[in-house]
Amino acid sequence: AQTVTQSQPEMSVQEAETVTLSCTYDTSESDYYLFWYKQPPSRQMILVIRQEAYKQQNATENRFSVNFQKAAKSFSLKISDSQLGDAAMYFCAYKNYNAGGTSYGKLTFGQGTILTVHP
């Protein structure tokens, strides 16, 4: 079974600074997807960024980027120019590649990292 580990229960950053959240995972699969979701106090789970394992290029979405190290099974999230609105719980998640049809792997989440942004 796949597992996802976020070793940082809490992180903090000053506004406008950069912070990196860590995530490691364990799998025997070669094709899979990795995600970062953000959960603000409103509880809404918001997709931040998505990475396909077969792509070597790291995904980026505006101020958010990842460092995907497939051999090391590491998937960290970097938030640049942090804003107060970035304060939230961040979840790393893993999913096997969907081969189509009714076969569909489940989304496995890490424990989450609480990010605090100081003004």
CA distance 80 to 60: 11
Complex with other proteins: residue 16 or 45, whichever CB lies closer: 45
Does 41 bind other proteins (CB under 8 A)? Our answer is: no
Is 38 exposed, middle or buried (CB count within 10 Å of its CB: 0-12, 13-18, 19+)? buried
Phi-psi region of 3 (alpha: psi -120 to 50; beta: other; left: phi over 0): beta
* Part of the chain binding other proteins (CB under 8 A), chosen from 15-23, 42-50, 59-67, 76-84: 42-50
Does 94 bind other proteins (CB under 8 A)? Our answer is: no
Residues at the site binding other proteins, with contacts judged by CB under 8 A: 33, 35, 37, 42-47, 50, 91, 95, 97-98, 100, 102, 104, 106-107, 109, 111-112
